[in-house]
Amino acid sequence: MGELGLFPLGIVLVPTERIPLHIFELRYQELIGECLEHDDEFGLVFADDDGMREIGTRASVVDVLDRFDDGRLNIAVEGRERFRIVTETEGHSFLTAEVEPVSDEEVVSDQTARERALERFRKLGRVVETDVDEPDADAGLLSFELAARVDFGPERKQELLELRSEPERLRIVSDLLDRAAEAITLERALAESASKNGRGLQRS
């Protein structure tokens, strides 16, 4: 167990995911400055109107994109290990806490489940007509690799973050990918139908 600086945000960072952050508050400029100086990680924790969650993800600064004269920063961070907040601590301008690691149960997903999830990811890519950055089928955290590439919303991602079973997470991600593809297909079909109906009305 050790102390970790916390950055509560309205987003969820999952392990392996890379995201950009704009650092403008002085306390978080201090936090990121310390991380850069000592090559440390900080904890990104989802927070909304219901408060701050106790399960978060360690974030490592992998690139400083911009430095501004007033101290603001644009950075890129990568999600590392998960943690659970044990108790909040004091002594800094930013939030800190004693944390402990969160690890998965010693069960891996089977090959069939991994291939099914990847096929549904490819299907979603075909539906949205874009090239997909496909993760390795043998990635140990395939569920997080996929969740990092599709916007399921912070609540869903937080649920995935808190699960400690990779097979269960992968099953949920696979279902979410399937539903997303179906929803987009239906939305496009309805839009096309409405467009045709509109043209028909104009001709009459």
Residue 198 is predicted with a pLDDT of 53
Per-residue pLDDT of the chain (204 residues; tens, 9 = 90+): 789 999 999 999 999 999 999 999 999 999 999 999 999 999 999 999 999 999 999 999 999 999 999 999 999 999 999 999 999 999 999 999 999 999 999 888 899 999 999 999 999 999 888 787 889 888 789 999 999 999 899 999 999 999 999 999 999 999 999 999 888 887 777 777 666 655 544 444
Alpha carbons within 13 angstroms on the beta-carbon side of residue 33 total 13
As a whole number of angstroms, the distance between CA 28 and CA 54 comes to 19
pTM of the predicted protein model: 0.86
CATH superfamily of 2-102: LON domain-like (2.30.130.40)
Domain range list for the chain: 2-102, 111-200
Structure tokens at 164: 């400690």
